[in-house]
């Protein structure tokens, strides 16, 4: 019987302790800090916002030592080792560059920037300064994704022929205002489709062609899209996202010898099932009952920083750039353009 490999992912608790500064204390920053403090040795020691009272409220909630009323003060703090950029997509480039120019390594929320040109600006600055930079695509650093990665590396599935992944959440209308706002790089693509696109890019080894169709919201941002991709070897990917309804959020990788299925919330710590061509389950990987998934990316970053590395092998900067180029193609085909582009 064919079995799945065990994940090679180190326990986040084993990563070295570093001191973090946070740019923009919003919802994702709250979740990330809670995971960091619960399951790693690292701590957030400073937080910056455009409003002093907002920064102070976050600091009080999480026991953060210093709160600043500007991002410039935050990145100038000599008591932090790295900066986590948790602002809206529209601000990622400028905030990442602000940190890098101040000599601070950066973990930048996904999607990395609004577009590939901005991503290249950040990557070029990180390489020019010799500083660590990484996209906070947390799924790439989870144990169950390492199981998928090893299956691909070992050829356990045979020749990969098809990948499917979807991500839909009911976030419009009535959800966060930024998702409806073109000025904040809103829409389903950068918030939701980034997950299936990144997953497929890993599983397929990149995209040779990208074709998209979809619908727009009244404000001009994308509401839903279906993306068809073809890999350099001719394998296909069918990807979709929407901010109008909740979808199964499942993913699969199908090869000539077997397929992998991740059913429901595929981008979170999850079960991976290995299934043969006759639909018989051969093996499964089960995650621990409770995991703070966001901690894995922070732990990876801390290990890289201690090692003097400037990027992660699990999500290299050039791959982040290629993913942003694919997202640019989708937006161009949908007719979505952000102000200032």
What one-character DSSP code corresponds to residue 309?
-
Residues 6+ apart with CB under 8 A from 84: 20, 21, 22, 23, 29, 32, 44, 106, 107, 109, 136, 298
Residues 6+ apart with CB under 8 A from 57: 25
Residue 206, classified by CB atoms within 10 Å of its CB into exposed (0-12), middle (13-18) or buried (19+), is middle
Q: How far apart are CA 84 and CA 129, in angstroms?
A: 17
Instruction: Tell me how far apart the 2 most distant CA atoms of the chain are, in Å.
Output: 60
Strand 236-242 and strand 222-230: the pairing is antiparallel
Give φ, ψ of 143 to 5 degrees: -55, -40
Which residues are catalytic, by number?
110
Instruction: Find the distance separating the first CA and the last CA of the chain, reported in whole Å.
Output: 53
Count each helix (H run) and each strand (E run) in the chain, helices first: 10, 14
């Amino acid at each position: 019987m064919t079995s799945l490999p065990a994940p090679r992912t180190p326990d986040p608790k084993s990563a070295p302790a570093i001191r973090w500064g946070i740019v923009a204390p919003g919802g994702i920053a709250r979740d990330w800090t809670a995971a960091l403090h619960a399951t790693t040795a690292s701590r957030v020691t400073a937080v910056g916002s455009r409003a002093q009272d907002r920064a102070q409220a976050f600091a009080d909630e999480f026991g953060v030592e210093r709160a600043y009323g500007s991002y410039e003060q935050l990145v100038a703090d000599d008591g932090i080792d790295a900066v986590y950029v948790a602002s809206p997509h529209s601000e990622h480039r400028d905030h990442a560059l602000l940190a890098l120019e101040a000599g601070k390594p950066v973990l930048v929320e996904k999607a990395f920037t609004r577009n590939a040109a901005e991503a290249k600006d950040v990557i070029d600055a990180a390489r020019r300064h010799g500083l660590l930079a990484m996209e906070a695509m947390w799924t790439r650093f989870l144990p169950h994704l390492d199981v998928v990665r090893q299956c691909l590396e070992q050829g356990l599935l045979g020749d990969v022929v098809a990948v499917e992944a979807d991500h839909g959440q009911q976030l419009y209308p009535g959800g966060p205002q930024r998702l409806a706002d073109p000025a904040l790089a809103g829409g389903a693509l950068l918030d939701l489709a980034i997950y299936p696109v990144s997953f497929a890019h890993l599983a397929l080894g990149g995209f040779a062609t990208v074709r998209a169709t979809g619908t727009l919201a009244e404000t001009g941002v994308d509401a839903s899209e279906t993306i068809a991709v073809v890999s350099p070897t001719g394998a296909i990917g069918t990807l979709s996202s929407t901010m109008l309804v909740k979808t199964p959020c499942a993913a699969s990788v199908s090869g000539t010898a077997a397929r992998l299925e991740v059913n429901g919330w595929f981008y979170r710590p999850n079960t991976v099932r290995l299934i043969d061509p006759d639909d018989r389950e051969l093996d499964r990987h089960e995650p621990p009952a409770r995991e703070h998934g966001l901690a894995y990316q922070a732990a990876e970053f801390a290990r890289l920083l201690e090692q003097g590395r400037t990027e992660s092998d699990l999500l290299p900067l050039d791959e982040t750039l290629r993913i942003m180029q694919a997202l640019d193609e989708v937006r161009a085909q949908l007719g979505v353009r952000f102000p200032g582009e």
